[in-house]
A = this chain, B = another copy of it.
Amino acid sequence: MEKQPVIGFIGTGVMGSGMVRQLLKSGYSVRVFNRTKAKAEPLIKDGAVWRDSVAELAKDADIIITIVGYPKDVEAIYFNGGILDNAKAGATVIDMTTSSPELAIKIYEEAKAKGIAALDAPVSGGDIGARNGTLSIMVGGDEDAFQRMLPIFKAMGENIVYQGKAGSGQHTKMANQITIAANMLGVCEALAYAERAGLDPERVLASISNGAAASWSLSNLAPRMLKGDFAPGFYVKHFIKDMTIALESAAKMGLRAPGLALAKERYEALAERGEADSGTQALYKLYKE
């Protein structure tokens, strides 16, 4: 790419907004569309250009990046008059939503038939990672497309790894979520145990946070649990979505994943109690009863 590509970006929620801002900071020309326009206003003030529809945005972009809520939202914007019916041949589409590996393959194949390159590139690192451009980005699709998009990824993230053919980015993100899921049970149960045993849980964390029990969740979420801070870094409802995809995917591969199944069941119980919009650390509430 000799001249700077035009980037179309769909999904300016908490994650997307941080990512668009990083792209603008790197000097890219970014057009944005979002279901709720109000969420894009601060970006428009900062130089992003508004487009009135998915189709309009897709038409003249060289690169189309999407990060929306659920697989059904991804389907809605890619198919049936969406991105793939409007993007020009030679364009590259990158779905950064955490979504199903199967859908990533479907997008890849339909895109390829139209001369469009497609990458699945979900991220981890949360809103802070998005804001600071320090996301981990796990990429699936053709390696040459990955190489061409590397400067774009580097504008948004730090740990950028090509994982293999289409769907591999999503599969890697699933592995990430599977690791977290069971670990959250352990963190909550350990804290609840410490409290019931009459220990000072802060002191317990001082003993266990840096040894063999160490984890990101223990260091970052356990202190919030103890403070009763259940504000979302990562939503319960989105975690349930991810675990559902992972469990379905595992079942298709004939893999029993009882830790994941248990975590999903517990999180669903939590959501049923009205905690779908809390942060994942709210799981601790189930153990306080």
Contacts and interface: CB of A to CB of B under 8 A. Distances in A.
B136 A207 contact: yes
Contact of A193 (B193, B204, B216, B250): B250
Interface in A170-219: 171-172, 174-194, 196-200, 203-204, 206-208, 210-218
B262 A259 contact: yes
A161 interface: yes
A104 to B, nearest CB: 12
A197 B168 contact: yes
A287 interface: yes
Main secondary structure of the interface of A (DSSP, over half): helix
Interface in A239-272: 246, 249-250, 253-260, 262-263, 266
Identical chains bound together, number: 2
A159 interface: yes
Contacts of A178: 186, 189-190, 193
Interface in A152-172: 159, 161-164, 167-168, 171-172
Given A164-B198, A182-B182, A190 B176 contact: yes
A223 interface: no
What interface size band does chain A fall in? 35 or more
A181 B182 CA distance: 9
B203 A161 contact: yes
Contact of A175 (B159, B199, B249): B199
A216 B211 contact: yes
A182 B171 contact: no
Residue from A189, A253, A255 with most neighbouring chain B CB atoms (10 Å): A189
A196 B174 CA distance: 12
A141 interface: no
Contact of A199 (B164, B190, B212): B164
Contact of A215 (B162, B163, B215, B260): B215
B189 A259 contact: yes
A113 B268 CA distance: 51
A124 interface: yes
B262 A208 contact: no
B253 A159 contact: no
A266 B258 CA distance: 9
Given A183-B183, A216-B211, A255 B176 contact: no
Top 5 A-B pairs ranked by shortest CB distance?
A185-B259, A182-B186, A215-B215, A179-B213, A171-B197
Interface of A: 101, 124-126, 129, 136, 138, 159, 161-164, 167-168, 171-172, 174-194, 196-200, 203-204, 206-208, 210-218, 220, 234, 246, 249-250, 253-260, 262-263, 266, 287
30 contacts: A138-B207, A161-B207, A163-B200, A163-B204, A164-B203, A171-B198, A172-B199, A172-B207, A175-B190, A175-B191, A175-B197, A175-B204, A176-B211, A176-B212, A178-B189, A180-B186, A180-B213, A182-B183, A182-B189, A183-B215, A185-B259, A186-B259, A192-B257, A193-B249, A193-B257, A196-B250, A196-B253, A214-B215, A215-B216, A262-B262
